Each structure stands twice: as structure tokens, then as C-alpha cells.
Structure 1
Amino acid sequence: MPARSLALLLLLLHSVHALAAPAPQVGFQYRHMPDGTEVGIWYPATGHPTHQHLGIYEQDVVTDALPVGHDLPLVVISHGHGGAFSGHLDTAVALANAGFVVASLTHPGDNWRDESRATHVEDRPKALSRLITYMLSTWSSHTIIDPARIGAFGFSSGGFTVLAAAGGKPDFSRVAAHCSAHPEYYDCQLVRQHPGPLPIWTGHRDGRIKAIVVAAPALGYTFGREGLSSVTIPVQLWRADDDHVLPAPLYADEVRADLTRLPEFHDVPEAGHFDFLAPCAAPLPICQSAAGFDRAAFHQVFDKDVVRFFSRVLH
């Protein structure tokens, strides 16, 4: 066969193969853990995506598709006070597009439906660990996950959660003095709304977590250098420069100063606290950004940096 004909044949075969191969997509499953905890799961898949509303958020996913791949890293997500599993779905989709399995829970007793245990932050790291166990042992496709490559992402109270799950030890005796000096701060308002004894910290480090991303962490001042001395895994830390909910310097800045291992730090000019949540259009404060701040544009950068960090440290 002449060389020209052979080249044309190879080109044709390549084109046919490309047309036949299904395009990679993001699959999504909505599940409940055995204890009833609500979970959203994103992962690499094939199929035809559909546009889906999850409360005030939206996504394009292949619902209940079979996962594809093997030995995939896992990232678990912990939302902020009064949130839900869906609050960071754009970041979850970006990670799944990059080959991660992502699981996000709705924290029992601290979510948009039920805030009865909002100040019982000692419950949160335990719930996150139960999610990891569920994904590694009970989830129907658990065999595609590499148990040696697990990361955690947390925002606000979720930022506290992943720091504690990574070995951080908060000292809640610091809360009284903090709230005496700053009674108007959000965490102090929450303590007043839920009177009772402060949590007793017994510790809950999950050694399966190998890296964390922390955005606008709540209760950052409760750790101190000694309390964060056991957090030795890689940390990516984010601060919103116009955060009026957890204002500088007692939260993200305290964590940055007290980590013994230098974190990868990002400050976001003009961003507010809730700008770390996925873009949304509902008439709610959590969906509103300051004039001139483009949350959708920011999240293109934010999601890319989160994917890059986890891809590098969970290799």
C-alpha cells in the first residue's frame, strides 16, 4: 500500500475511534450513610450529562452513572455552619473532572434544616471520619478508591473540622475571652444562641487524611501553635480579605501563623466570607458578593488551584 494511502487509512481509523470513544464526564450520586447522613458523591464517568438543581446550586452531571477508573484519590468535603453537602459542588465537579472521587456530607445537627448541635463542633471530625469509612468500605464502587490518597476540604466550620481531623487540638477555654472582647463576631453570636457548656475536646485525628484545603476557618484562634503542632500534612489555606463574618486576624491568619509546616497560603482581595461557596443566584446573603467581585470568575481560579494542590500532594 502506498505511504499516502496508509496515512489516510490510519487517519480514518483514528477519527472513527475518537468518535466512538465516550467523552469523559462527571457522575453524581445522592446517597445516605447507614446512620442517615446525607451524602453527595462526584466521580469520573461516561454518559450524557443533564442540568440539575441541588437546592440553590446547579450542576451538569450524569446522575447515577457507573464510575470509571481505578486507584483514584478521594477528597471529602466539610461544609460550614448551617450548610449542606451541595455548597461546594463546583469544586467537587472540578476535582472529579481531574480524576478524583469526591464525597461531601451534610453535617448532622449543623445544617440548613437542623442547627440543634451547631456548637457541638466536636461531632464534626467524627462525622467526617465516618464518611471516609463509608466511601472506603460501604459505597458500592469503593474498590476504585486508593485508600492511601485521601484529602479533605473544609470551609468555615468545615475548615475547623478538617484541621481537627488532621490532628489539630483546639483549646475551647479561649472562647470566653475571645467573645468578651468581640461579642459581635459571628461565632460569639452563635454561642449566645446555643447556651450551655463548651465542648470537651477528646481529640479525633484521622491518619487516613494526607492533605487538607482550609478556607476561612472558624475558631482558628482556639488552636495556637501547640494545638496545631501535630498537623504535619500539606495544607492549602485561603483567606477572604473582606471577610466580615470571621474577620482577620483571628481565624485564617492565626492558623497560618501557628502551623509548624508552612502552608500554601492564598489571600483573596475583595472577597467576602461566603465567596468560597459555589456561585448561586438565590436572594440569600450567602449568594451575594460585594459590588465588583465576580464570584464565578474567582471560582475558576479557586477550583483550579484546589485541583492543582491535591493533584500534587496526593500523587
Structure 2
Amino acid sequence: MRRFPLALSALLLLSLSAAQAAGLRAFDVPAGPDGPAIRGVVWSPCAETPHAIDGRGGRTFFGVSDCPIVGAKLPLIVISHGRRGWLGGHHDTAAALADAGFMVLTFNHPTDTERDTSGTDSLAVTVERPADIKRAIDYALQGWRDAAHIDAGRIGLYGFSWGGYTGLAAIGGEPDLRKSLPNCQTSSLRACKELEGGEKPSGPVVHDPRIKAAIIVDPFPVLFFAAENLKAVTIPIQLWSSDPAQNGDGLSGCCAAAINDRLPSKPEFHLVADAKHFSFLATCTPEETAKMATICTDAPGFDRVTFHQRFHAAAIAFFKTHLGEAGTR
């Protein structure tokens, strides 16, 4: 990763200070008949100066805990993390969207997080992950203490990797989850092995028509989505792909070209030259890079800080176009 004249954390803090900050507050969906408890965080517009916050395990957020929310009836963006990810994996994207006037919900998908991988790659999560999206939105609009700040008619979604699969399913995709599915018979994916062993999904995939626009990044796995399985996906999509030339190391999630060709309506497609799959994750501090080199290290010459500035600007413009102006700061 390119070195900068100031510590990366200081650069991020300075840029956030110039543009106000994101407020952070707890968001916890209680367990119920529809599923287990979901732990989350809501990022919101905030008028106070940001500071570093311990995000867990040496990771750093920048924002203000329990900052008063600026604005009312704001659009809501729900972020779905990737395989074995966590609610903080896209914290800089969440903060950028919140600073632009959006409410942003990030949460851990039960059984497919850093701390609980019991469902990772399984047939169960192909159904449970989209259901998590609906449950989280339900609670955000109906049970959460600050629900009044959200405009229920303006909801968007951001999905990365397995979160990209999750997003496509939530917005109308019907994954083909059957035995003898082409390409699944020879796949090492746990869900494929379970399908070939005669297992079936625990229930139907849940869609959420409240989602009006979506950003999908490197969706994985795509083998469950032929073009006919995506014919009901009609909302506006901004589709991002990492560079196939930088993803020859077996990492899941690259790339988005196949889905771009299968969607019934042409998305706004971005292929990012020299980006690795993990280049879409939050920019790392030097301390994080030392602990998580695989996730934090980009291709030689690729500047994740600069890319995320462009990426966030495009994401904000997309959501403002399709969900309306986020609100006055």
C-alpha cells in the first residue's frame, strides 16, 4: 500500500473533520420466531467533530457515539458484508454516506461473521442472509428507538461479495438452489455439496420491495443466478467489479462482469483497474495493515484512499439520484 506523508488515521480524521462527521448508535434486533438476534450499528448525519473510536479487535472507526441525528425523514442504506465479514468492514463507506445525509445500517449476519462461521458458504445462509435484510429493515422502521428519522419510502442497499449475492436475492433475484445445478456439481462451495447431498433450503428466499436502489460489489457466488433467475431485478443498480487480473489467488468475490451481462436492465457498471477484491473494504490504518495484511494490502501503485474518495462520491451521487436528496446538513 502506498505510504503517505501523514499517518493514514490522521488523514482520515482531517478529511472527516472538514465535512462534519458520522454519528454511531447501537442497533440490535432481538431474537424471535423469524431468526436469531442481529447486532448492528446505525451511522447517521452528525454536526460534531469526529474522533477515533475503538471498533473492536484493534480496528478504528471515526465518528461520534450517540451524536444527535441531523435531519428527519432521511433515506436509509442497509449494508450487507461479505463472507465472514462484520458490521465494521465498510465503516468508511458508511461514514461517507452518513455525512452526505443518509442513515446507514451495518450489521452482522448471524452464523457468517468473523466470530461465528458456522453457516459460512452453507445452503442455510443462501436463504437466511436475504431474510436478515428484511428483518433488519422491519426493525429499523418499526421497533428501533430512532425510527422516526427514517423515510420508509427511500431505502437503498449496498452489498459486497456474499453481501452482493444477498442484495441480488433481496431485490428480486431467485437463486437456483437445486441438485444437479450446472457448475455447482464440481464446485467446492459448501452449499453445492449440501445440494448434491440431497439437502434443500429451509424455506423460500425473502425479497424486500421496499428497497428502491442498490449498489452491488463483486457479487459471489454467481452460479446460483442465471439470467432467468434475475429477470425480476428491475430497480436501479450500480455494479462494481474488482480487476480479474488482480484476483488470481483464489479469493472469492471477483468479479461482476457475469452479473452485468445477466441483469435484465443495464446497470451503471464500473470495472476498477488494479483493484483487488478487498480493495473495496474500509481503508486500513497502519496498525490494521500490520495485523491484516491480506485484507489491507493493495496491488502496487493502487491508492485505496484515493479510490475510496471516488467510489464514495459515485455511491452518494447514485443514491441521491434514485432515492432523492438525503437532506440538509
Alignment TM class, shorter chain as reference: 0.7 to 0.9
Cα shift at 1:115? 0.9
Question: Which of residues 267, 278, 288 is equivalent to 1:263?
Answer: 267
SS state of the match for residue 96, structure 2?
A: helix
Counterpart-to-counterpart distance in 1, 2:21 and 2:281 = 22
Question: Which of residues 146, 169, 173 is equivalent to 2:151?
Answer: 146
2:234 is matched with which residue? 232
Cα shift at 1:148? 0.5
TM-score, structure 2 normalization: 0.81
Inter-CA distance 219–38: structure 2 relative to 1 (3 Å threshold): same
SS state of the match for residue 219, structure 1?
A: coil
- Deviations along 1:207-233, whole A, 9 cap, x unmatched? 110011000000223111111010100
Which residues in structure 2 correspond to 1:12-31 (within 5 Å)? Answer: 24-31=20-27
Counterpart-to-counterpart distance in 2, 1:175 and 1:75 = 36
TM-score, structure 1 normalization: 0.84
Q: Output the amino acid matched with 2:273.
A: P
Question: Which of residues 215, 220, 223 is equivalent to 1:221?
Answer: 223
1:50 is matched with which residue? 51
Number of positions where the alignment pairs a residue of Structure 1 with one of Structure 2 = 287
Q: Is the 8 A contact 1:174 1:222 kept in 2?
A: no
Inter-CA distance 194–180: structure 2 relative to 1 (3 Å threshold): closer
2:140 is matched with which residue? 135
Counterpart-to-counterpart distance in 2, 1:206 and 1:82 = 23
Inter-CA distance 259–209: structure 2 relative to 1 (3 Å threshold): same
1:309 is matched with which residue? 318
1:254 is matched with which residue? 258
Q: Is the 8 A contact 2:20 2:50 kept in 1?
A: no
Where do 5+ consecutive residues of structure 2 fail to align? Answer: 1-18, 32-36, 325-329
Counterpart-to-counterpart distance in 1, 2:181 and 2:116 = 25
Larger Rg: 1
Cα shift at 1:303? 1.2
Which residues in structure 2 correspond to 1:84-163 (within 5 Å)? Answer: 84-118=86-120, 119=122, 120=124, 121-163=126-168
1:8 is matched with which residue? none
Question: Which of residues 281, 287, 290 is equivalent to 2:299?
Answer: 290
Inter-CA distance 201–221: structure 2 relative to 1 (3 Å threshold): farther
SS state of the match for residue 210, structure 1?
A: strand
Q: Is the 8 A contact 1:91 1:303 kept in 2?
A: yes
Counterpart-to-counterpart distance in 2, 1:107 and 1:247 = 17
My pick for the range that moved more, 160-169 or 172-181, is 172-181
SS state of the match for residue 270, structure 1?
A: coil
Q: Is the 8 A contact 2:85 2:108 kept in 1?
A: yes
My pick for the range that moved more, 136-145 or 78-87, is 136-145
Paired-residue identity, %: 38
Cα shift at 1:24? 4.3
Counterpart-to-counterpart distance in 1, 2:206 and 2:193 = 26
1:66 is matched with which residue? 68
1:41 is matched with which residue? 42
Where do 5+ consecutive residues of structure 1 fail to align? Answer: 1-22
**Structure showing greater relative contact order (alpha-carbon pairs closer than 8 Å, 6 or more residues apart):** 2
Inter-CA distance 180–202: structure 2 relative to 1 (3 Å threshold): closer
1:10 is matched with which residue? none
SS state of the match for residue 144, structure 2?
A: coil
Q: Output the amino acid matched with 2:51.
A: T
- Deviations along 1:50-72, whole A, 9 cap, x unmatched? 21131354232111112121121
SS state of the match for residue 25, structure 2?
A: strand
1:79 is matched with which residue? 81
2:5 is matched with which residue? none
SS state of the match for residue 205, structure 2?
A: coil
Inter-CA distance 24–215: structure 2 relative to 1 (3 Å threshold): same
Counterpart-to-counterpart distance in 2, 1:308 and 1:299 = 14
Inter-CA distance 24–291: structure 2 relative to 1 (3 Å threshold): closer
Aligned-residue Cα RMSD (Å) equals: 2.3
Q: Is the 8 A contact 1:169 1:201 kept in 2?
A: no
Inter-CA distance 269–174: structure 2 relative to 1 (3 Å threshold): farther
2:174 is matched with which residue? 169
Inter-CA distance 247–206: structure 2 relative to 1 (3 Å threshold): closer
Cα shift at 1:189? 6.7
Counterpart-to-counterpart distance in 2, 1:201 and 1:231 = 20
1:16 is matched with which residue? none
